[in-house]
């Protein structure tokens, strides 16, 4: 599936953010050179964390009102701009846009692998929510930004933490012990990286990089996933936090592209 050359895409990214980090991994994993993005009129606007909050860097267009990060705007001649608000939807759009043999299918290369990818993405979304609930009820510092209207609850913290743990245990049951003994492979069972791998690593790495000491380990007590993550860090699609930090302070993000 292709797109008319007159279509203009504008993508706002804060490279080291939780959900934008997925897009950074995605662009590397998809093996998209910057020249291809230019051909499809995909303009990436770097966003930085400032004292006033997250804002486009000087000289760049501000992101649309009411959006979070990442955000994708699609403009076609004669039509109202179309906004894509969520990271998963943005990656799905790019999968359809670049759905040809020249680039790997990050949903999986077989129907079975694509189904497993969907399974894992659904599970991880639930795990992310419960981890967030545990974090907001377990760390007083979150009251500065969480917007919670009720007091923190120790029982809510304990319950949410348990649910997060059970979901990751289920994921370990799905992927099996083989990922700890063989060379790296996707959680979806493929030899190529999939969206499932990207979403898990983004959660793990963001927590390690941004959260307070007692919250850094997103996969605590899950040895199978830990071994898998260490192997994943050696894969060409992985973007180190140091690289993302450098992109946060740079006016360009060329480092994520393959060439």
| 56-103 residue pLDDT tens | 998 999 999 999 999 999 999 999 999 999 999 999 999 999 987 788
∠ CA(157), CA(161), CA(165), 5° rounding?
175
Contact 22, 199 (CB under 8 A): yes
Helix 111-138 vs helix 195-210: crossing angle, to nearest 10: 20
Task: Please give the Cα distance from 243 to 16 (Å, whole number).
Answer: 9
Segment 12-29 mean pLDDT: 95
This prediction's pTM: 0.93
Does residue 253 register a pLDDT over 80?
no
Query: SS3 of 71, please?
Result: strand
Distance of alpha carbon 11 from alpha carbon 85, whole angstroms:
10
Burial class from Cβ neighbours inside 10 Å (0-12, 13-18, 19+) for residue 232 reads buried
Task: Write down all domains in the chain, each with its CATH number in brackets.
Answer: 8-105+244-256 (3.40.30.10), 111-192+194-234 (1.20.1050)
How many CB atoms sit inside 10 A of residue 190's CB?
23
- The CA distance from 35 to 259, in Å, is 8
Mean of all residue pLDDT scores within the chain: 91
pLDDT confidence tier of residue 14, bands split at 50, 70 and 90: very high
Pair of tokens at residue 127: 């795990």
Distance CA(59)–CA(106), nearest Å, equals 34
Pick from 7, 46, 2: nearest CA to 24: 46
Taking the C-alpha atoms of residue 107 and residue 222, their distance in angstroms, rounded to an integer, is 24
With CA atoms as reference, report the closest residue to 152 among 163, 140, 162, 164.
Answer: 140
Quote the tokens at residue 60.
């760049």
Structure tokens at 104: 């790997």
**Residue among 228, 125, 210 nearest 219 (CA):** 228
Sheet harboring 82-84: ordered strands across? 53-56, 42-50, 8-13, 71-75, 82-84
- 8-state DSSP, 85: -
Contact 33, 254 (CB under 8 A): no
The answer to whether residues 70 and 19 touch, using CB atoms and an 8 Å cutoff, is yes
At 255 the pLDDT is 58
Other residues' Cβ atoms within 10 Å of the Cβ of residue 217: 14
Distance from C-alpha of 89 to C-alpha of 143, rounded to nearest angstrom: 29
- Which pLDDT value is given to residue 257? 60
pLDDT per residue over 219-243, tens digit each?
Answer: 999 999 999 999 999 999 999 999 9
pLDDT attached to residue 158? 97
């Amino acid at each position: 599936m292709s797109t008319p050359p007159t279509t203009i895409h504008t993508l706002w990214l804060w490279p080291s953010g939780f959900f934008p980090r997925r897009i950074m991994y995605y662009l590397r994993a998809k093996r998209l050179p910057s020249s291809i993005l230019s051909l499809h009129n995909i303009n990436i606007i770097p966003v930085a964390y400032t004292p006033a909050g997250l804002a486009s860097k000087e000289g760049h267009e501000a992101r649309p009102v009411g959006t979070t990060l990442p955000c994708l705007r699609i403009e076609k001649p004669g039509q109202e701009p179309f906004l894509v608000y969520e990271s998963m939807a943005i990656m799905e759009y790019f999968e359809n846009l670049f759905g040809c043999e020249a680039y790997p299918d990050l949903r999986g290369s077989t129907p079975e692998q694509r189904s497993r990818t969907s399974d894992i993405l659904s599970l991880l979304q639930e795990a992310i929510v419960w981890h967030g609930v545990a974090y907001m009820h377990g760390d007083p510092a979150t009251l500065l930004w969480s917007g919670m209207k009720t007091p923190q609850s120790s029982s809510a913290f304990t319950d949410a933490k348990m649910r997060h743990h059970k979901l990751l245990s289920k994921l370990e049951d799905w992927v099996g012990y083989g990922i700890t003994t063989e060379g790296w492979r996707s959680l979806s069972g493929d030899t190529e990286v999939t969206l499932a791998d990207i979403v898990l690593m983004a959660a793990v790495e963001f927590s390690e990089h941004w959260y307070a000491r007692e919250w850094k380990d997103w996969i605590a007590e899950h040895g199978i996933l830990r071994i898998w993550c260490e192997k994943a860090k050696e894969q060409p699609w992985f973007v180190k936090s140091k690289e993302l930090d450098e992109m946060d302070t740079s006016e360009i993000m060329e480092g994520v592209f393959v060439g």
